[in-house]
Structure 1
């Protein structure tokens, strides 16, 4: 019976693939503004003119590769933090589920308010520097959780969980905005499909990265935090090279009947 469930699951993906074969990019109307007739602007340039195949857009592929690294915050909560807590710190094991609950509560309360940091491509790019600092602080907090009493270890783990959650929310906001802004309007579906591969790569390589960080001890977490911060800075430069002056489009008045 279990084998048939696996076969059915595989066939469902085949069916989904067949259904998407009939999908196409929606028509674009570059001369139109918003529905209310406001001026349309854009402060980050998409792919070079004529580029509609994401596999030929080297810069977007480089951006997607950097995203696979920044998505490691997901593996931190699923693998790294729990294993590190029970194997390398003096914190009580009961703290693990509480840290995961803290992560969920913070996301529910602050994900929407923090979305303002990615309201435009320029704002998203500016957020990459604070994101780098948060990643660095997160790694340092996990490294510090091995020292001291159980109370100090728990406090350090709580700080690390809070910092990694903040990084998770900021990166989610930045990632969504830039992944769309860097894609040409006529091929956003294809580009976002390639961008989605970053999560798949992270899910495959994330467990190995987490166990490697744990095996290296506190230095492993410091190295991971520094690596994530460096990727944020590199991504900021990569996005800057894609920027262009804001393009204004004449407003269009929508008549009411």
Structure 2
């Protein structure tokens, strides 16, 4: 499954780093249309996690994953066939649905096969994922030096073909045992029903704050490329290169940084420096609007590094707290709800980022400050719910890119 993740991320790196530029220069969409398209696709993706999980409870997990990868390939190939805005939105939404479902089920597969070593396995999986992103981003940057429509189309084709290869590789993976069926067989007393996360107001509020903190994902996929596209003198090839920088930094420092959140109390305390990093990243984006291409390029690189640091710190915090705040008998259900935070930000995030862009340079300072304040809100919100010790092995901490 690590090879599956690696190939999947190569394809995604080819497309994610240039998708905004593709829709802008090949499909000739405006910034508002690109933002709306990303938001609608993100909204469709929200349904992917619960829908994919429900199907996986009834069918073999590997078979469901193969179907989802083929769905993603079909959606990507379909984008090549039209410049009609409505169809581009529909195909993007279909791809997002398959993407979010496949992401959740890949984690489910890892959880089932790794057992007690799931955290370390996820760390290795995270390394493979970001290495794939880096290779895909480098290939995209090289292709963009051509600056032709054909180059953009080849990158999208490469993304689609990667999903076909991933589907074939998944067919070779063994089907993992389903712990839910084992639990159902061992159930003794029906009155010991696990708590529902949908009735836990504190946890739902926590997931709401997580939706805001996951905005670093939209920053790299939508905000940064759009800002580069509309900043005079800055080369368009900088966008995929900064995605490569993001991936390289995560591969190098995700595991070492996770030690700073080795306990639940440490993870909560880490929210305060995280808020400062988010604020500094927004300020660096504002300062990049200098009119000088070289200075703008340097400041955009600093901003990308700061948002990458924020991503890694939040990964450490999020993995630990999402488990620590969940009751022992319902961790699966709670983590499933937590997973919706990232899907939700993929819908709402593009709107927030494009709104910041529309406000001009100061919009980035406002966005960074908003995320920083949300860190403070989460820090106080979870204070009375934290447990004295972490529930997961704290040697490595992982979040999805």
With the length of structure 2 as denominator, give the TM-score of the two structures. Answer: 0.50
Find the aligned partners of 1:62 and 1:219 in 2 and give their Cα distance: 28
Q: Secondary structure at the match of 2:382?
A: helix
Say which is worse superposed, 162-171 or 87-96, in terms of deviation: 87-96
- Counterpart of 2:321 (choices 170, 175, 178) is 178
Structure 1 position 15 matched with structure 2 position 55: yes
- Counterpart of 2:294 (choices 144, 147, 151) is 151
The answer on whether the counterparts of 1:90 and 1:146 sit within 8 Å (CA) in structure 2 is no
Find the aligned partners of 1:15 and 1:85 in 2 and give their Cα distance: 40
Alignment of 1:1-257 (within 5 A): 13=52, 15-19=55-59, 22=181, 24=183, 52-243=195-386
Which has the larger Rg?
Answer: 1
Q: Secondary structure at the match of 1:219?
A: helix
Find the aligned partners of 1:82 and 1:200 in 2 and give their Cα distance: 20
Residue 86 to residue 240, structure 1, CA distance change in 2 (3 Å): same
Find the aligned partners of 1:167 and 1:196 in 2 and give their Cα distance: 19
What displacement does 1:148 show? 4.0
Q: Secondary structure at the match of 1:147?
A: coil
Higher relative contact order (CA 8 A, sep 6+): 1
What displacement does 1:94 show? 2.2
Find the aligned partners of 1:163 and 1:185 in 2 and give their Cα distance: 35
Find the aligned partners of 1:204 and 1:229 in 2 and give their Cα distance: 20
Structure 2 runs not aligned, ≥5 long: 1-47, 60-177, 187-192, 391-401
The answer on whether the counterparts of 1:117 and 1:174 sit within 8 Å (CA) in structure 2 is no
Find the aligned partners of 2:367 and 2:185 in 1 and give their Cα distance: 40
Residue 67 to residue 147, structure 1, CA distance change in 2 (3 Å): same
1:52-102 CA distance string (max 9 Å, x none): 111111000000000011001000000100110120353222211211111
Q: Over aligned residues, Cα RMSD in angstroms?
A: 2.4
Structure richer in helix, relative to its length: 2
What displacement does 1:208 show? 1.2
Find the aligned partners of 1:116 and 1:189 in 2 and give their Cα distance: 24
Q: Secondary structure at the match of 2:290?
A: coil
With the length of structure 1 as denominator, give the TM-score of the two structures. Answer: 0.77
The answer on whether the counterparts of 1:53 and 1:187 sit within 8 Å (CA) in structure 2 is yes
Q: Secondary structure at the match of 2:58?
A: helix
What displacement does 1:239 show? 1.6
Find the aligned partners of 1:23 and 1:224 in 2 and give their Cα distance: 46
Find the aligned partners of 1:244 and 1:176 in 2 and give their Cα distance: 14
Residue 206 to residue 245, structure 1, CA distance change in 2 (3 Å): closer
The answer on whether the counterparts of 2:279 and 2:371 sit within 8 Å (CA) in structure 1 is yes
Q: Secondary structure at the match of 1:115?
A: helix
Find the aligned partners of 1:26 and 1:199 in 2 and give their Cα distance: 33
Q: Secondary structure at the match of 1:163?
A: helix
Find the aligned partners of 1:232 and 1:190 in 2 and give their Cα distance: 24
What displacement does 1:153 show? 0.3
Find the aligned partners of 2:232 and 2:304 in 1 and give their Cα distance: 14
